[in-house]
């Protein structure tokens, strides 16, 4: 008894069991024909399955959106009416809701899959005469021959953003954020008789936030099947004197500006301490931040997990949202009157970290 199996819920390849030293993938050829090509891990070789309400699924070519379609021949009966039977070569045609000739079912066959027409279970997708350069169509079941057996491996790759460019050199919505204060480093010279001088490292930590948000109005085309895009690998890293700097970071997914990617960077500040005798000074790093919102354009492409190949190309727009350190300083407080642990003292100097 035939066992129906579900189609993958992610983009997948339709690979033939025919052996010619390489895997052969079903794809779109000239004039809408279905053809075989060596597997390349290309978006043009991928398919998706859209479940049909009455069973089976429509198989759609991911890059074009066209549906794998078979033809039928009508046979009349002596008492009137008649019936339709699948026959002939298959083609890729525009998707038509309710068109039964675009509906297929998958059947498990000895570790492989047969692709059956929903109209008649006995008619399967077949490579005619086992010729990988010939016609592909529907044909009556032949017991699981190589030319009618397939496998449906999922493409586990991802959409990645490439050619990321900021749309303007002037960035919008530059907003100052409250400064971040680090812990106070106390240098106590109350028992000393001479000026205490030394080079010390004051604790300093940067907190950087980043989010890349693709505009909702963007049509991602076939890339939408892979969910959120990754590979946004550049971000603003400071806004100093109106100049913007970029640095490479680990690949990031697009995100929600309300839940951005956060990175903490420990970077102690070097400071020259000078504490007069009988005094206790506190040294505290203070980091000023700005919030930057910058429009960008990018190209989404598929990075295949099978071959590592990049294919497809969809232009998108969006916004980079970042909170970045703009400058830092070390503030010097006289803690003699309040004690080393007694709170904030009088500001007596400001140092620029080395």
What's the pLDDT score for residue 168?
62
Residue 157 pLDDT greater than 50, yes or no: yes
CATH of 4-151, one of 3.40.640.10, 1.10.357.10, 2.80.10.50, 2.40.50.430: 2.80.10.50
pLDDT tier, 171 (very low <50, low <70, confident <90, very high otherwise): low
Domain residues of the chain, as ranges?
4-151, 158-351
User: Cα–Cα distances in Å, from 354 out to 100, 200, 280, 348?
Assistant: 73, 11, 22, 19
As a whole number of angstroms, the distance between CA 217 and CA 227 comes to 15
Residue 342 clears pLDDT 80, i.e. is over it? no
- Tell me what pLDDT residue 134 has: 94
Whole-model pTM?
0.77
Topology of domain 158-351, per CATH? 2.170.15
Most confidently modeled range among 177-181, 218-222, 245-249, 257-261: 218-222
- Report the percentage of the chain scoring pLDDT > 70: 90
The per-residue pLDDT for 241 is 41
- Tell how far CA 205 is from the center of its chain: 29
Classify the C-alpha dihedral 25-106-61-299 as positive or negative: negative
Residues of the chain with pLDDT > 90, as a percent, come to 62
Identical fold for domains 4-151 and 158-351, yes or no, is no
């Amino acid at each position: 008894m035939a066992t129906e199996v579900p189609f993958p819920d992610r983009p997948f390849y339709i690979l033939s069991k025919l052996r010619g030293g390489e895997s052969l993938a079903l794809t779109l050829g000239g004039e809408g024909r279905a053809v075989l090509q060596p597997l390349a891990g290309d978006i043009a070789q991928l398919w998706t399955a859209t479940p049909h309400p009455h069973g089976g699924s429509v198989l759609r070519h991911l890059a074009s959106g066209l549906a794998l379609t078979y033809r039928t021949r009508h046979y009349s009966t002596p008492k009137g009416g008649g019936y339709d039977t699948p026959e002939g070569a298959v083609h890729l045609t525009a998707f038509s809701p309710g068109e039964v000739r675009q509906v297929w079912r998958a059947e498990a066959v000895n570790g492989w899959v047969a692709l059956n027409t929903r109209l008649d279970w006995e008619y399967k997708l077949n490579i005619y005469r086992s010729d990988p350069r010939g016609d592909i169509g529907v044909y009556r079941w032949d017991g699981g021959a190589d030319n009618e057996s397939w496998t449906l491996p999922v493409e586990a790759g991802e959409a990645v953003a490439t050619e990321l460019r900021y749309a303007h050199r002037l960035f919008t919505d530059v907003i100052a954020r409250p400064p971040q204060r680090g812990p106070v480093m106390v240098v106590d010279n109350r028992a000393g008789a001479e000026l205490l001088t030394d080079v010390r490292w004051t604790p300093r930590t940067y907190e950087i936030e980043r989010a890349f948000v693709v505009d909702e109005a963007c049509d991602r085309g076939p890339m939408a099947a892979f969910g959120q895009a990754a590979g946004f690998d550049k971000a603003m890293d400071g806004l100093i004197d109106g100049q913007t700097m970029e640095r490479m970071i680990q690949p990031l997914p697009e995100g929600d500006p309300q839940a951005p990617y956060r990175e903490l960077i420990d970077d102690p500040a070097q400071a020259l301490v000078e504490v007069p005798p009988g005094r206790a000074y506190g040294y505290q790093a203070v980091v000023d931040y700005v919030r930057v919102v910058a429009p960008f354009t990018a190209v989404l492409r598929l990075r295949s997990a099978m071959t590592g190949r990049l294919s497809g190309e969809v232009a998108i727009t969006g916004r980079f949202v970042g909170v970045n350190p703009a400058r830092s300083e070390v503030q010097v407080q006289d803690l003699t009157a309040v004690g080393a642990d007694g709170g904030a003292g009088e500001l007596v100097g400001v140092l620029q970290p080395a």
